[in-house]
Structure 1
Amino acid sequence: MGGEKQVLARLEVSRHACRLFWERGVADTSGDDIAAAAGVSTRTVWRYFRSKESCVEPLLARSADRFVAILHRWPHDLSLAEHLAAETLSQPVDPQEIADEISAMRIATMTESEPALRTAYLMVHDRMEHGFIPVVADRLNLEENDLTVRLCAAAVTGAFRVVDEDVSRAVIVEGEAVTQEQTLALIDRAIRDATNGRLGGPVPH
């Protein structure tokens, strides 16, 4: 239970850190500021995180982990587009998840000019890549350490990151309205293109 409580506590600190970075900028936000906003001691912040920029990782990881979980539930008889559409209907997002997604998109737009935030962002995607490997291995009927599996997992991660950055920029910076359906369609197309069609369709019998 203690582990779960700590995960939730780190996420709450992360939410405040992301908000402060967006409102004030990274340079003008200190560990003390993050601690005060989250209602914890500065010592607790440094116990949870290696740097102030790494405070964004738990919030960014929520979106990444949710997508990995969606792929782990991908049935063999469905295309990715069909599965994503079904997931949208069966797993609606709640208001907190929507708020977290917006905050994550804001951070994604900041990573272009903030190298330390970029490092945290890429670390989350590295974790995502490892999560994709069992899914790719299963759908290609190959061992997890097979080179093709690892290359496809890396390609899927890269595709997801490009879509995430493009959609985040469109919504947050350019003020465009991008629907969930449009985002999922982009993900489907990007993954098919990135893996040369190896992934995206149903698993052949």
Structure 2
Amino acid sequence: MSRHACALFWDRGVARTSGDDIAAAAGVSTRTVWRYFRCKESCVEPILGRSAQRFVAQARRWPAELSLVDHMAADLAANPLTEQELADEISALRIITLSVSEPALRSGFLMVHDEMERQFVPIVARRRGVPEDDLTVRLDAAAVSAAFRVIDEDVGRRAILEKEKISQAEALALIDRAIRDATNGRLGGPVTS
């Protein structure tokens, strides 16, 4: 349903897409849509969440001796996106660009990043060697989520609206810079003793 909702919102606009339209495109009953989603705009959250979850999964595998950008580059080389994952990333970027002017879509986008922040707390704590309830750990997790959100918005605008080609290396460099800046340099680099 999520892929269909993303496509319909992009092609028709949010106001001109109904829950019935999403159900018909997905081949399910409208009742099924409302069983799984609180509103039509929330149908996009699974697609938006996949990108965030992919980043969290990469961060969980982040070895202490590597910088984030080096780890992400190596991890992406070892685990390249499938055609469907790439299509989902494009759909997510489209929805992110729409969310700037669609408050209901924005709400779902922000909920995905709130969950990302919570999942990032143990990663930050492990990297920094401090307890998860440490205030700086929580602040860094919030900063990482906010940095990732801003990069998603920037890359989405540039790639989707302005049709700019953004290389993987450039996207990784943007993520690295954003996280280092947002955490005042506490995250992004290798762990040093």
TM-score w.r.t. the length of structure 1 is: 0.93
Pairwise CA distance, 1:81: 1.6
User: How big is each residue's C-alpha offset from its partner over 1:98-147, in whole Å with a ceiling of 9 and x where there is no partner?
Assistant: 10000000000001110000001000000000111011000111111110
Quick one: which amino acid aligns to residue 66 of structure 2?
Answer: L
Aligned counterparts of 1:201 and 1:31: Cα–Cα separation in 2? 45
- Matched residue, 2:76: 88
Q: Give me the identity figure in percent.
A: 68
1:71 maps to which residue? 59
2:17 to 29, 50, 53: 29
Q: Determine the C-alpha separation between the residues in 1 that align with 2:153 and 2:28.
A: 31
C-alpha offsets along residues 156-182 of structure 1, whole Å, 9 cap, x if unaligned?
A: 001000011000000010010001111
Q: Which residue does 1:202 correspond to in 2?
A: 190
Amino acid paired to 2:60: H
Q: What amino acid sits opposite 1:72 in the alignment? A: R
Q: CA deviation at 1:203?
A: 1.0
- What is the rounded CA distance, in whole Å, between the counterparts of 2:192 and 2:126 in structure 1? 12
Equivalent AA in structure 2 for residue 66 of structure 1: R
Counting only pairs closer than 5 Å after superposition, residues 10-159 of structure 1 correspond to structure 2 as 13-159=1-147
Give 5+ residue unaligned stretches, structure 1: 1-12
* Correspondence 1:189 to 2:177: yes
The separation in 2 between residues aligned to 1:82 and 1:50, in whole angstroms, is 39
Across the aligned residues of Structure 1 and Structure 2, the Cα RMSD in angstroms comes to 0.6
Counterpart secondary structure, 1:202: coil
Q: How many residues align?
A: 193
The aligned amino acid for 1:180 is Q
Post-superposition CA distance 1:13-65 (Å, at most 9, x none): 00000000000000000000000000000000000000000000001101110
Runs of 4+ deviating beyond 3 Å:
none
Q: Secondary structure at the match of 2:131?
A: coil
User: Residue in 2 aligned with 1:4?
Assistant: none
Instruction: State the partner residue of 1:162.
Output: 150
Give the Å deviation of 1:82: 1.2
SS in 2 for 1:166: helix
TM-score normalised according to structure 2 size:
0.99
Residue in 1 aligned with 2:166?
178
In 2, Cα distance between the equivalents of 1:62 and 1:51? Answer: 19
